[in-house]
Structure 1
Amino acid sequence: MTEYCVKAQNVQKAFGANKVLTDVSFDVASGSVTTIIGPSGSGKTTLLRALNALDVPDAGVIQVGEIEIDFSEPVAKDTLRRYRAQSGFVFQGHNLFPHKTVLENVTEGPVVAQKKPRAQAETEAVQLLEKVGLADKKDQYPFQLSGGQQQRVGIARALALRPKVVLFDEPTSALDPELVGEVLSVIRDLAVEGWTLVIVTHEIQFARQVSDQVLFTDRGVILEKGPPAEVLEHPTQDRTRQFLDRILNPL
C-alpha cells in the first residue's frame, strides 16, 4: 500500500480578482520525486508555496506529513506553525541571511524554531554541508560564495529541519548556466537517498531523469499528471504538446 507524504484536494488560491489555482488535486508518495512544469504564470510557484502555506490557500484540504488542514475554515496559528514545520523550502533566490555565516544560516532553523541545542545543530549542519560539498565554506558569508554554492547552502538549510518533504522553487533559474549542474547533482543525490521532493523546474531533461511523477500546470489547473514517460513523451493534451515542443525545440 502506497504511503503518501502530501495530499492536496481542490486547492484554490486567488490574489484579488486573479484566480491563480483552481481546484488543484494531487498526491505525492513518500520517498518520491514530483516535478511541476508549465509556462510562466501557470501557478507553479503559488502551488508550491501553498504546500508550505507561504501563500495560504483560500480553500481546499492539504495534508503534509502528519498535519492536515482544511483551508476553507479559519486555521489556528499553532496548527499553521506545525503544518509549515513538515516541509523545507528552497527558494529561487537563495534567501540566505547575508550577515550570518554559512554554518549560522544552516543552524538558524533548528536552534530558533526547533529549540535544538546549538552544539547538536552545528554537528548536524556540518554533516549536511559535507553532503552538499561545502563543509570547507562553513565560516564564510553568502557574499563570498558563488550563486551555485549559495543555493547548495539553501538546500542544506532546508534539510536541517528534517522535513517530511523538501519543496524546490525553480532552484536553478537564477544561476549562470555553468553552475546549474552542481545544484542538480545535489538534488539527484537527495532523490537517490529517498527524500520526498517536490520541484518546480523548467529543466525538462532533469525532470525526465529524476521524477516519479510530473505535473503539467496551465492557468492554475493541472492538465496532466503521471510518470515522466507518459507526460513528457506521450502527452494527451494539445497544450502540453505545444509547451514541450517550444521548450525542447526552440528556434
Structure 2
Amino acid sequence: MTDPTAPLVDVRGLEKAFGDNHVLRGIDFTVDAGTTTVLLGPSGSGKTTILRSLNVLETPDSGTVRIGDVEVDFATLPARGKAAREQTARLRAQSGMVFQSHNLFPHKTVLENVIEGPVQVQKRPREEAIADALELLDQVGLIEKAGQHPFQLSGGQQQRVGIARALALKPKVVLFDEPTSALDPELVGEVLSVIKDLASEGWTTIIVTHEIRFAEQVADQALFLDGGVVVERGTCAQVIGDPQEERTRQFLRRILDAG
C-alpha cells in the first residue's frame, strides 16, 4: 500500500533513446495529488516523450514510474510476453491522455467516442458509462453535441471532447500534450478555460505547453527541460518569473517575445 503522504506520481531515472538520439537522460520528478505540473522547453527536449512514457505509449529503456500504487521498473520489465503486457496495462490505466490532434474516432458520435474506453477497455456497464459521459460533456460545454460526429465540430470542440474522453476513464492523473498547438488562435481560450476548471476542481494534471502565461495561472510546479534533462524546476514564480539558468531565460525570452 502506497504511503498516503507520498506524491501521486514519482518518476526516477527515466531514460529513453531512439537509436543514437538520447531523448531522456535520467529524468526525476514527483507530482502531488490535486496539483498541476507544466513541462516547458524547446521542441525535442523530451517533454512529449515523458508524457508518453507515463502512459506507456513509449516504453522507457530504464527508470521507474509510479502512479498511485502501481509502479513499473522499466529496467527489469520483460521485453514481451504476458507479464510485460499486464504491468504496462496497469500503469496505463492510471492516466488519461489528451493528444495534440484530438484522435477522435471519425465514424462515432461524440457520445460514442467518450464511452468507448469505459465500455470496451474497462468493461463498465454501458448505461453507467453513458450517464458519466453526459455529465462530462455538460462539464466541458458540449452536452448539445452528444449526437454529432467529429467533422461537425470545431477544432476547439473536438479537443474538449478529447478531454471528456480522457476524464471518462476516471484516471488518477490527466496528461495534456500541447492541447492547443493544433488550434486556430481564436479557439485556444475555450480549451484552456476547461483545463483551468479541471485544475481548480482538484484533478491532478501534467501539461506540456508553450502557453507561458496560461502556465503561470494554473501550475503549482514548472519543469524546464532541454536536451533530455531537467534544467530547472520550482514554482512558476521561480522558473518563469525568476529563472536562475541562462538556458531557461533564453527560452522564455524567445517565447514571450514571439507573443
TM-score by length of 1: 0.98
Q: In 1, distance between residues paired with 2:51 and 2:44?
A: 13
* Equivalent position SS for 2:250: helix
Q: In 1, distance between residues paired with 2:6 and 2:131?
A: 31
2:213 to 174, 182, 205: 205
State the partner residue of 1:242. Answer: 250
Superposed CA RMSD in Å reads 1.0
Kindly provide the amino acid, as one letter, of the partner of residue 61 in structure 1: T
| 1:145-224 aligned within 5 A | 145-224=153-232
* Equivalent position SS for 1:130: helix
2:40 to 37, 41, 61: 37
Kindly provide the amino acid, as one letter, of the partner of residue 60 in structure 1: G
Q: In 2, distance between residues paired with 1:3 and 1:226?
A: 18
| 1:77-116 aligned within 5 A | 77-116=85-124
Whether 1:72 aligns to 2:81 is no
State the partner residue of 2:9. Answer: 6
Kindly provide the amino acid, as one letter, of the partner of residue 20 in structure 2: A
Equivalent residue pairs, number:
251
1:26-84 CA distance string (max 9 Å, x none): 00000000000101111111111111110110000110122001000124211111110
* Equivalent position SS for 1:229: helix
What is the CA distance between 1:102 and its match in structure 2?
Answer: 0.2
* Equivalent position SS for 2:170: coil
Q: In 1, distance between residues paired with 2:5 and 2:207?
A: 20
Q: In 1, distance between residues paired with 2:28 and 2:41?
A: 16
Q: In 2, distance between residues paired with 1:224 and 1:232?
A: 10
| Runs of 4+ displaced beyond 2 Å | none
Structure 2 CA distance for partners of 1:2 and 1:74, relative to 1, 3 Å: closer
Aligned sequence identity (%)? 63
Contact 1:89–1:167 (CA under 8 A) maintained in structure 2: yes
Q: In 2, distance between residues paired with 1:71 and 1:121?
A: 33
2:53 to 44, 50, 56: 50
Q: In 1, distance between residues paired with 2:7 and 2:101?
A: 29
Q: In 2, distance between residues paired with 1:2 and 1:237?
A: 31
What is the CA distance between 1:248 and its match in structure 2?
Answer: 1.0
* Equivalent position SS for 2:8: strand
Structure 2 CA distance for partners of 1:2 and 1:206, relative to 1, 3 Å: farther
Stretch of structure 1 that moved more, 47-56 or 2-11: 2-11
Mark the runs of 5 or more structure 1 residues left unpaired by the alignment: none
TM-score by length of 2: 0.95
What is the CA distance between 1:3 and its match in structure 2?
Answer: 3.7
Kindly provide the amino acid, as one letter, of the partner of residue 99 in structure 1: H
Q: In 2, distance between residues paired with 1:203 and 1:90?
A: 16
1:229 to 232, 237, 240: 237
Kindly provide the amino acid, as one letter, of the partner of residue 35 in structure 1: V
